[in-house]
Amino acid sequence: MSLGLRIKTLRRSKGLTQKSLAELVNVSRIYIQSLESNRRLPSMKLLKRLAGALDVDMVDLVQNPYRDSSGRLLLEEVLNSREPVEIWYRSRKLSRNEIQLVQKLIDAALSDWDREDG
C-alpha cells in the first residue's frame, strides 16, 4: 500500500477534504493532492502533522497494514492495493474483475445511503 493511498483513505475516513486536511497541516491543497498521488514525499515534520490530523500514530501512517490503530479494517486500502493481495470469500479466491465488481457494489450502496441521509 502506498503512502499516498494511505493518506487518502485515512483522510476520507475522517470526512476531510483535501483542502481541510491541507489547512490542518498548514500546506496547500495541491500539495496534499501530490502526496496522495505519490508525486511527492512528506518531510518527517509534515508526517508528524499528518498523523496528528488523521488521528493515527506516525508509525501507523508509514507502515503498510490494512488496519488502523483501532483495529478497523481499511477495505479501500485492500481493494486499491497495487501490491499482490489475495482476497478470498467462501473458500474462493476472487479475480481482479470480481474485486472491482465488489468495489462498484460498495460504492453504489454508499452513494445510495448518502442520498437517503441527505
- pLDDT per residue over 5-38, tens digit each? 889 888 888 889 999 999 999 999 999 999 999 8
Q: pLDDT per residue over 31-87, tens digit each?
A: 999 999 989 999 999 999 999 999 888 877 776 556 666 666 667 777 777 666 777
pLDDT the model gives residue 83: 66
Contact 75, 106 (CB under 8 A): yes
pLDDT the model gives residue 27: 97
CA neighbor of 1 nearest in space, from 70, 79, 97, 107:
79
Cell numbers given for 1: 500500500
Say what the pTM is: 0.58
CA neighbor of 99 nearest in space, from 114, 110, 113, 85:
85
Q: Which domains does the chain have, with CATH numbers?
A: 3-85 (1.10.260.40)
As beta bridge partners, residue 92 has: 89
